Amino acid sequence: MVASTQHLSTASDISYSGQQIIQALQTLLLQRLSPSALDWLNQSCQQLSEAASERFLFTRFSAASRRVGKVDLALTEPQLQMAQTLRAGWMPGGWSTDQAVRTLLLLSFPDEDSDRYVAAIEKLLSAADVAEQVALYQSLPLLAYPERLRAHAIDGLRTNVTAAFNAIALNNPYPADYFDEAAWNQMVLKALFVDSRLSQIQGLEARANAKLAQMLSDYAHERWAAGRPVNPQLWRPLGLFATGSLVADLERALSSDVPHEQQAAALACASAPSAAARTLLARVPTLQQQVASGQLTWELLSITHP
């Protein structure tokens, strides 16, 4: 069983080099920006590192999309692997050039004075438009003193703008590393409500907990009562804590006539701590064998039903 009641990382828990990330972003952008955009960026980063002017940071951060464009980075597989090497969980595959540039500007701002650095990020967040919020939230796991920005990230989950919410919740290691259990659970539940892809929440299984399992069960019952389908990824964290009445939920899903619901329930039964769940799985020997052989995994199911 995976147990996680409070999962608050500190800077000492997570090892990565800000300078190496800066160099990696510079290399990626060198291949994707026009000469004039590169000149603007290099000048901006140089001035930021020397003058540490908040005003200069704010104006350049705001102007980034106009100066460098918004084309997709379109990273190669080796480049994606490099990102993971530099910072575990860093997934810039869906980033655009302006988002990468804004991250580079933030990383170029001197961080020796922690209070001044955090205050600058907080001011940016308070005044940012949606596109700027997305860039800021995506950058959180790369910034200095990330634990001091936890409250702002949690507050960001309340947004009604799905793009901003997804920037925090999806393909981002920050929530799994820094959110407490209550914030984590609310994020996962909201992801269901706004139809975000649960399979893209990093640490979905590692941060599973009994309270979340019960919340997901309640959500499933609401969907069933309304005659609506249940996202199959819901069973992924629930299965790890499926005992008692939660096993009955898995039995209902396993009895579904929808193949991907059965598959998800089978995977959840395989990870459940109770003998009753494993007995359920034995009733569907074909699925049981597929799970045991690796033909059926959450990763494979996520390709078609994220």
Give the pLDDT mean for 190-195: 97
Q: Which two tokens stand for residue 60?
A: 């350049």
How many helices (H) does the chain have, and how many strands (E)?
Answer: 18, 0
Query: What tens digit of pLDDT does each residue of 88-103 get?
Result: 999 999 999 999 999 9
**Whether residue 205 has pLDDT greater than 90:** yes
pLDDT of residue 16: 63
Half-sphere exposure of 122 (CA within 13 A, CB side): 14
pLDDT of residue 10: 45
Write the CA distances from 187 to 174, 202, 290, 305, 306, integer angstroms: 12, 12, 31, 20, 16
Q: Which two tokens stand for residue 260?
A: 């991907």
pLDDT of residue 31: 87
**DSSP 8-state symbol, 227:** T
Confidence of residue 17 (pLDDT cuts 50, 70, 90): confident
Compute the distance between CA of residue 241 and CA of residue 192 in angstroms, rounded to an integer. Answer: 19
Q: Which two tokens stand for residue 194?
A: 């706004």
**Whether residue 300 has pLDDT greater than 50:** yes
Residue owning tokens 């600058």: 120
**Whether residue 113 has pLDDT greater than 80:** yes
pLDDT of residue 51: 84
pLDDT of residue 5: 36
**Whether residue 11 has pLDDT greater than 50:** no
Query: What tens digit of pLDDT does each residue of 251-296 get?
Result: 999 999 999 999 999 999 999 999 999 999 999 999 999 999 999 9
More confident residue, 259 or 52: 259
State the pTM of this model: 0.91
Confidence of residue 8 (pLDDT cuts 50, 70, 90): low
Residue owning tokens 């979905």: 204
**DSSP 8-state symbol, 72:** B
Task: Give the helix/strand (H/E) hosting 223.
Answer: helix 210-225
| Every domain of the chain and the residues it spans | 13-178, 210-304
* % of the chain exceeding 90 in pLDDT: 92
Confidence of residue 18 (pLDDT cuts 50, 70, 90): confident
